[in-house]
Structure 1
Amino acid sequence: MKPLQGKIAVVTGASRGAGRGIAYQLGSAGATVYVTGRSVKGSTTDNRPETIEETADGVTLRGGKGIAIQCDHTRSSDVRKLFERIGREQGRIDILVNSVFGGSERSLPSGDGRHFWERPLEHWEAMMVAGPQAYLLTTRYAVPLMTKHQKGLIVNLTFFIKDQISSNLYYDLAMNAINRMTRGMAKELQEYNVSAIAVCPGWMRTERVIDSGFGPKDGAKETTAYVGRAVLALATDTTVSKFSGETLMVAELAKKYGFTDVDGTQPLPFEG
């Protein structure tokens, strides 16, 4: 029997990138995975080809059950309807992975410079609304499906470089908001036996990164399967509550649990 057989997972932002990689790994362990996002057949973001239907099919092909539901996680009505449906169909959630992010979309205006005062406010809104605010909104509706069963795991995808500002001020604030939010969630959820952990991958070779021409020589050493294996390791650890509230590097988790990336290596954390 697969380790996550019978478990119900939700992976947001799963049309591509880290979300897709995580959904595939949970599916390979036998989970039923609700994959959500805005990109569906005939209507995708940034004119990208990837869709949540493709991700759901990939989950099923790997031995799980993939269910695609279109959802804009910045819209309360969309998120509420998503979890109402899951509540009707499953009655609970075992694993929630927040991995939506709007700050990298090419539709954003470029601005007149790299300083924070030169960046259009749309950058702030994209990173904070389609980032920590979407995480909080999604978790708010998901938690009742965990607390009533006194069990659950929430994973918040994040990014940081120790003792450095990551990328730019807006991005750095968004990621550290997620890290701090995870700690607060963990504290309030402790009495319900629900854990919240922030997981930080390195520079991943996502579809967007590959299409932009970046690869291992540039520092993009990790595949999305690496972060997927990190989440899978946490989801199958019966003592995962010991990490609740922490922000953990994928490379750190690889050492703790002994997994590797698809090429058998254990890439080190991205250092900028």
Structure 2
Amino acid sequence: MSKRIALVAGGSRGAGRGIAYALGDAGMIVYVTGRSTNEQTTDNRRETIEETATGVTARGGLGIPVVCDHTNQTDIDLLIQQIQHQHGRIDLLVNCVFGGSESHLPSGTERRFWERPPEHWDAMMSAGPKAYLWTIRAAMPLLQQSPAALVINLTSFTPDQVAGNLYYDLAMQTINRMTHVMAQELAQTTISVIALCPGFMRTERVVDAGFASAATESTTYIGRAVTALIADDDVSRYSGQAVFVADLAKTYHFTDQDGMQPLPF
């Protein structure tokens, strides 16, 4: 089989960048998407999709940056058309475009649900479950061209946990439930779909906010989880489930970059 084709939706920074770099280490062709470019960054951040794509290529893969706002259907359609024209399939789709973290929402953070402004709901549900669903839906024709495609939806907590405030919890559990139901509808195909739960990661935002010492893991850890999953010929056994990166580390015998296996939340 030729090199696997991956799409990392939301790869300019954070978990997406860590995953893209790990896929580069595995020699994959990686489409890195997002809104932050060399010409225009978002949220006053300096990281860009071009920077991530360059890192993928430097690691032995091929990084292809594509500007895409995953809340915009036209952007998504143009992205899928480009992948169709250039490679004709998608073997791995990783959704990590969630835009509702407390660190960059407008005023009203750390409040109870009745005290929060309406824009918190939009931030967490649109740049989260809605963006994930639209991207997967558009990518289905190319996922179906793969002999064994894998969709990974980044989430935070498994269904039996409470994920912070109500809006955030609803967004995360919507992703988990979406993954579960998708797996049922995909049962007769060669496509598996998994919700993946990291721990407290040392992302660029976390470091800049001064919380690096409290964070338990680097973004390398989730990247290694993704590469372990895509390399597993029996990965369909996880389809529909929400799984912890830490549990996969035990199963697949990988570590974080410091040689440790950090525990989940």
Q: Structure 2: how far apart are the matches of 1:112 and 1:213?
A: 18
**Aligned residue number for residue 256 of structure 2:** 261
Deviation (angstroms), 1:5: 6.2
- Aligned-residue CA RMSD (Å): 1.5
**Aligned residue number for residue 247 of structure 1:** 242
Candidates 180, 185, 199, aligned match of 2:177: 180
CA 1:260–1:181: 2 relative to 1, 3 Å? same
> 1:1-272, aligned counterparts within 5 Å?
6-104=3-101, 108-111=105-108, 114-160=111-157, 163-216=160-213, 218=214, 220-270=215-265
**Contact 1:150–1:192 (Cα < 8 Å) also in 2:** no
Deviation (angstroms), 1:112: 7.9
Report the TM-score when normalising by structure 1: 0.94
**Unpaired stretches in structure 2, ≥5 consecutive residues:** none
Q: Structure 1: how far apart are the matches of 2:109 and 2:87?
A: 49
Secondary structure of residue in 2 paired with 1:251 = helix
**Contact 2:22–2:224 (Cα < 8 Å) also in 1:** yes
Q: Structure 1: how far apart are the matches of 2:196 and 2:153?
A: 6
Query: Which amino acid counterpart does residue 49 of structure 1 have in structure 2?
Result: R
Query: Which amino acid counterpart does residue 7 of structure 2 have in structure 1?
Result: V
Q: Structure 2: how far apart are the matches of 1:212 and 1:6?
A: 38
Query: Which amino acid counterpart does residue 130 of structure 2 have in structure 1?
Result: Q
Query: Which amino acid counterpart does residue 41 of structure 1 have in structure 2?
Result: N
**Contact 1:198–1:245 (Cα < 8 Å) also in 2:** yes
Q: How big is each residue's C-alpha offset from its partner over 1:197-221, in whole Å with a ceiling of 9 and x where there is no partner?
A: 01000000000000001124x2x11
**Contact 2:100–2:127 (Cα < 8 Å) also in 1:** yes
Q: Where do 4+ consecutive residues of structure 1 move more than 6 Å?
A: none
**Contact 1:150–1:193 (Cα < 8 Å) also in 2:** yes
Identity %: 61
Deviation (angstroms), 1:188: 1.2
Q: How big is each residue's C-alpha offset from its partner over 1:97-127, in whole Å with a ceiling of 9 and x where there is no partner?
A: 0000111275532128611011011001000
CA 1:105–1:75: 2 relative to 1, 3 Å? farther
Report the TM-score when normalising by structure 2: 0.96
Q: Structure 2: how far apart are the matches of 1:93 and 1:193?
A: 12
Secondary structure of residue in 2 paired with 1:86 = helix
**Contact 1:83–1:141 (Cα < 8 Å) also in 2:** yes
Query: Which amino acid counterpart does residue 28 of structure 2 have in structure 1?
Result: A
Deviation (angstroms), 1:136: 0.1
Secondary structure of residue in 1 paired with 2:54 = helix
**Unpaired stretches in structure 1, ≥5 consecutive residues:** none
Matched positions, count:
265
Q: How big is each residue's C-alpha offset from its partner over 1:112-167, in whole Å with a ceiling of 9 and x where there is no partner?
A: 86110110110010000000000000000111112144530000000116754212
**Contact 2:5–2:30 (Cα < 8 Å) also in 1:** yes
Q: Structure 2: how far apart are the matches of 1:161 and 1:28?
A: 28
